[in-house]
């Protein structure tokens, strides 16, 4: 009898329904994380008014000064919400090489985002130190990873029933994010450039893509695994 109870418990723990429930929870946490991230970013604009929305990088809000810790917290939040999104999609989507590559790249973006909290950048117009150089290198890798990852993710998910209805917005956000990233590469960050604006548009598009993807998981609590 004990053996039967144990077998039933193991079967329940490994059941697709339980996995789907966990995926829905992860998706909802990721979605809440995106909303909280946007709120913190907006708050920092008012908490550190000496920094320009148009000219300063988002990372400048984490440079030495008041409220820098809040931007560091946001980097860690971006890491957590991105990993939650990866987990939610990995459980609910049909497996493919393209999707595995996409999720791997988004995970790189997530881990890179977390690492940024430990290497403060140097604001535009100030001398570049070792920490700032490391910050830029990590950000470069993370930005490229999420750009390619979301494009591959769109290509893999667009044919799956759960995401088919949002295939066009996914395409616009993932592919369209290349435009502000190229503009950022051309403008760079200095007191008179629009690099800060381009970076914020890029980040916004990528986070909206993640939010769109996890909404489809969060709303599908009754659907079986793909």
* pLDDT tens-digit series, residues 75-113: 999 999 999 999 999 999 999 999 999 999 999 999 999
Helices (H) and strands (E) in the chain, counts: 8, 0
Q: Alpha carbon of 21 to those of 28, 35, 55, 88, 178: distances in Å?
A: 11, 21, 43, 10, 34
Residue 127 CA, distance from chain mean position:
29
**Three-state DSSP state, 226:** coil
- pLDDT score at 17: 63
Please give the model's pTM, rounded to 2 decimal places: 0.88
Residue 54 near residue 198, CB atoms below 8 Å: no
Q: Which residues contact 216 (CB under 8 A, 6 or more apart)?
A: 162, 163, 165, 166
Q: What angle do CA 28, 154, 24 make, to 5 degrees?
A: 20
The whole-chain average pLDDT of the chain stands at 89
- pLDDT score at 220: 67
What is the rounded distance in angstroms from the CA atom of residue 172 to the CA atom of residue 178? 10
pLDDT by residue (tens digit) across 9-40? 223 333 456 688 899 999 999 999 999 999 99
Q: What percent of the chain has pLDDT over 90?
A: 75
What is the pLDDT confidence band of residue 187, given thresholds at 50, 70 and 90? Answer: confident
The domain ranges of the chain are: 17-218
- pLDDT score at 3: 38
pLDDT by residue (tens digit) across 41-82? 999 999 999 998 998 889 999 988 889 999 999 999 999 999
- pLDDT score at 16: 55
What is the rounded distance in angstroms from the CA atom of residue 177 to the CA atom of residue 147? 7
CATH code for the structural domain at 17-218: 1.20.1070
More reliable by pLDDT, 7 or 219: 219
Closest CA to 49 of 36, 65, 34: 65
Q: Is a pLDDT exceeding 60 seen at residue 150? A: yes
Q: Which residues contact 206 (CB under 8 A, 6 or more apart)?
A: 109, 146, 147, 150, 173, 177
């Amino acid at each position: 009898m004990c053996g039967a109870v144990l077998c039933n418990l193991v079967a329940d723990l490994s059941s697709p329904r339980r996995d789907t429930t966990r995926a829905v929870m992860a998706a909802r946490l990721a979605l809440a994380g995106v909303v909280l991230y946007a709120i913190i970013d907006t708050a920092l604009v008012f908490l550190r008014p000496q920094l320009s929305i148009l000219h300063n990088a988002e990372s400048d809000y984490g440079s030495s000064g008041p409220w820098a810790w809040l931007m560091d917290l946001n980097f860690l939040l971006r890491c957590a919400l991105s990993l939650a999104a990866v987990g939610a999609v990995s459980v609910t989507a049909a497996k493919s090489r393209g999707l595995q590559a996409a999720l791997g790249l988004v995970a790189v973006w997530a881990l890179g985002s977390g690492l940024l909290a430990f290497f403060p950048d140097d604001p535009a117009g100030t001398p570049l130190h070792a920490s700032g150089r490391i910050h830029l290198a990590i950000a470069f890798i993370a930005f490229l990873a999420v750009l390619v990852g979301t494009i591959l993710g769109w290509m893999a998910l667009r044919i799956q029933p759960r995401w088919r209805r949002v295939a066009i917005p996914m395409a616009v956000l993932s592919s369209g994010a290349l435009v502000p990233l190229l503009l950022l590469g051309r403008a760079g960050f200095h007191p008179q450039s629009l690099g800060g604006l381009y970076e914020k548009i890029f980040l916004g598009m990528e986070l909206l893509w993640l939010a769109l993807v996890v909404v489809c998981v969060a709303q599908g609590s009754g659907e079986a695994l793909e």
